[in-house]
């Protein structure tokens, strides 16, 4: 088994992971297949452009060409086509290779019914922030995956953010939290900016100030080790502007709305898992 890496899917998530790994591991040969041949060609071109010579990066013409001889395959297609993709891969996937899957609603036990015996299955849940190297990625290997294989995947994914091992029972909650969470934060940034625009700030400046404020706040949580509530209290002076804003957010139900969003996304992932359970692995 060689050290090549194949990607099935060149969309937002697949493309972000492909670029990050290609840049972090320039000596690993990589291939990508997408039904949209132009999309996969542009992805490969973006990795090579302006960079020193690296191992081969191939925009594969066929699914077989993308996975042939590879040691690792990332399946980065939409959940609604996962069944078709897994069935297509079953006949050509290298025995003993590693299959990395990232669709919500597809647990390891179901994926294993489609994969050849001996395949190392690892389930991951990244998020779109991989595009800027700041993804939070949950990683769950099947029980029979050797530790060395899991560590290799963690190392690859470290090129696009933070990767952490979790139990599979937590995957739906991870989907609701970090998998979908970027959208919640983008909405929050937009809402903050809208308030400033209403008070006269130019929109471009408002987005800059809002986004940098969120970035800095997140960095403080990660680096200080302090509880977010403690950090919030440090900003709230007695009788000041911030505590007045916090009072308004509480009155409008910010905490409850965000909690309900995470719960709704989690429950949607659970429903998708139930739907996937009814799919027959037979072609």
Instruction: Label each residue of 126-137 as H, E or C.
Output: CCHHHHHCCEEE
Residues of the chain with pLDDT under 50: none
- For the chain, state the CA radius of gyration: 21
Predicted pLDDT at 80: 84
Predicted pLDDT at 282: 55
pLDDT tens per residue across span 143-174: 999 999 999 999 999 999 999 999 999 999 99
Q: Which of 279, 233, 267, 251 is nearest to 82 (CA)?
A: 279
229 exposure class (CB count in 10 Å sphere: 0-12, 13-18, 19+)? exposed
Residue 191 C-alpha from the chain's centroid: 24
Which H or E run includes 58?
Answer: strand 57-59
Domain edges within the chain: 5-166, 174-270
Predicted pLDDT at 104: 87
Taken in order 213, 219, 220, 222, the sign of the CA dihedral is: positive
Q: Which of 252, 223, 264, 129 is nearest to 185 (CA)?
A: 129
Predicted pLDDT at 92: 78
Which phi and psi (to 5°) does residue 135 adopt?
A: -75, 155
Query: Check: CATH 1.10.3730.10 for 174-270?
Result: yes
Residues ≥6 apart with Cβ < 8 Å to 270: 105, 172
Predicted pLDDT at 95: 72
Q: Which of 89, 247, 77, 265 is nearest to 171 (CA)?
A: 265
Predicted pLDDT at 49: 61
For the domain 5-166, what is the CATH code?
3.40.50.720
pLDDT tens per residue across span 21-60: 999 998 899 999 999 999 999 999 888 765 555 668 888 9
Q: In CATH terms, are 5-166 and 174-270 the same topology?
A: no
Q: Which residue has the tokens 């910010």?
A: 254
């Amino acid at each position: 088994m060689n050290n090549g890496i194949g990607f099935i899917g060149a969309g937002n998530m697949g493309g972000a992971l492909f670029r990050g790994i290609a840049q972090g591991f320039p000596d690993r040969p990589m291939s990508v297949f997408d039904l949209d041949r132009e999309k996969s060609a542009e992805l490969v071109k973006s990795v090579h452009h302006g960079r020193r010579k690296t191992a081969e990066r191939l925009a594969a013409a066929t699914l077989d060409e993308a996975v042939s001889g590879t040691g690792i395959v990332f399946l980065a297609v939409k959940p609604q086509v996962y069944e078709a993709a897994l069935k297509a891969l079953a006949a050509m996937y290298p025995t003993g290779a590693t299959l990395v899957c990232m669709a919500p609603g597809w647990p390891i036990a179901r994926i294993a019914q489609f994969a050849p015996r001996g395949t190392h299955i690892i389930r991951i849940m990244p998020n779109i922030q991989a595009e800027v190297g700041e993804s939070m990625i949950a990683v769950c290997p099947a029980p029979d995956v050797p530790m060395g294989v899991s560590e290799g995947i963690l190392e690859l994914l470290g090129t696009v953010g933070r990767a952490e091992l979790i139990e599979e029972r937590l995957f739906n909650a991870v989907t609701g939290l970090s998998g979908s969470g970027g959208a919640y934060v983008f909405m929050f940034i937009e809402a903050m900016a809208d308030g400033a625009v209403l008070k006269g700030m130019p929109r471009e400046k408002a987005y800059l100030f809002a986004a940098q404020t969120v970035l800095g706040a997140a960095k403080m949580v990660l680096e200080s080790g302090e509880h977010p509530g403690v950090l919030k209290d440090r900003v709230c002076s007695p009788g000041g502007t911030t505590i007045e804003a916090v009072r308004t957010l509480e009155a409008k139900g910010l905490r409850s709305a965000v909690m309900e969003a995470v719960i709704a996304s989690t429950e949607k992932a659970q429903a998708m898992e139930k739907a996937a359970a009814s799919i027959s692995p037979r072609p």
